[in-house]
Amino acid sequence: MMLLSCIRQCVLTSRGFRCQQQSPDSRTQTQCPQPLSSLGCNRNQYCTTSSTGNICTEKKPVDSTCADPVQCLSGTCRNKRCKQDECPAVDTSIDCMPTQYCSPGERGNMCVDKKAEGARCSSSQQCIWNVCERGYCVRDECPQPYMSTRCLPSQFCSPAPRGNMCMEKRSNSATCQRDIECMSNTCRNQRCVSDQCTTPFSTDGCSVMTQYCTSTISGNQCVTRRGAGEPCLVSIQCMSNSCVGGTCAAAAPIPKRNGAPCDSPSECASTFCVLGSCAATQNSLGGLCVAATDCQSATCTNMRCVGSSLLTTTTAATTAATTAATAAPAPPTACTDACTARVRTEAL
């Protein structure tokens, strides 16, 4: 009977180093337990499979072919090549200087200087001003178009081919797209306008008695109301505040204040015209008058305002005097020479 001798060897397994028996004529050897790992191998080696078993193999230098990062000294396998990365993520600044970005290279990711204004780019992180627009690095003076951030009070942020720029706001009648582009802060019908008043065909913001609000190319403006006979659309356009048949009507006369000269009570705000002047009230009894309208009693006699009792007494006296004068006999007619001659003739 033939005895088979056994040889025990120390082998690194997934559970650590173990002693295993091996036949003397066996060609199999196991240096590491798991292919494509570093278990059981030196720092610069990795576990690979061979015809004699798992063995530790030297890791590969940069630009060598690879299938797994563990095969590379750099620890990076990209596009089946070992790469030496200075930075982990392309188009970021991780592990790079503030003025650099991570860029892919033949031997791996590298930290390179950010690009100047006008250089071609595919990411804003590649540009020194951190703005890539339409494939070019640009410089933004302000962060957001059509805002005023980082611009002067008289400016707005405008988009431009080489980056956002602070531009001067525009004057009235200039073309615009948004309110912030205008000095007046009002863009209407794509024109900068300045409003003196708020609502057309009203007196808001205007002189109430003489003006009204109308819309113009420069904005809402206060204009003078129209006189009698001028064309109109609405009454507020007219001084008389009356538009009839498309024409401003004549304005009613303004009532006069007390003390102003007058010819009729209708001319006065108080409706009293006394002795040719507008007054707060008519004259009382005994006051001067030239007409009944001057008196509270509505009676003017001998240029004095009188009451009804005095008027009755005066009227009675006047009537009595008139009656007495009527009843008295007429005086005899004086005889003339002609009359005397006629008498004498008749006597003969």
Domain contains 28: yes
Q: What was the pLDDT predicted at 346?
A: 45
Residue whose entry in the numeric block shows the structure tokens 């059509």: 146
Q: What separation, in Å, do the N-terminal and C-terminal C-alpha atoms of the chain show?
A: 235
Task: Give the domain extent around 302.
Answer: 253-310
Tell me the pTM.
0.35
Least confident of 20-29, 127-136, 236-245: 20-29
Domain contains 137: no
Domain contains 285: yes
Domain finish residue from 41, 58, 75? 58
Domain finish residue from 24, 43, 58? 58
Domain contains 289: yes
Domain contains 109: no
* Section 200-215 average pLDDT: 91
Maximum mean pLDDT: which of 36-40, 299-303, 331-335, 336-340: 299-303
Domain contains 44: yes
The whole-angstrom separation of Cα 46 and Cα 36 is 6
The whole-angstrom separation of Cα 337 and Cα 345 is 12
Count how many domains the chain has. 2
pLDDT digits (tens, 9 = 90+) for 54-95: 999 999 998 899 999 899 988 888 888 888 887 888 888 888
Q: pLDDT at residue 328 above 70?
A: no
Q: What was the pLDDT predicted at 11?
A: 53
pLDDT digits (tens, 9 = 90+) for 129-171: 888 888 889 888 888 889 888 889 999 999 877 778 899 999 9
Q: How sure is the predictor about 289, in pLDDT bands with cuts at 50, 70 and 90?
A: very high
Domain contains 52: yes
Question: DSSP string covering 128-167, please?
Answer: TTS-EETTEE---SSSSTTS-TTS-TTEEEE--TTS-EEE
Domain contains 315: no
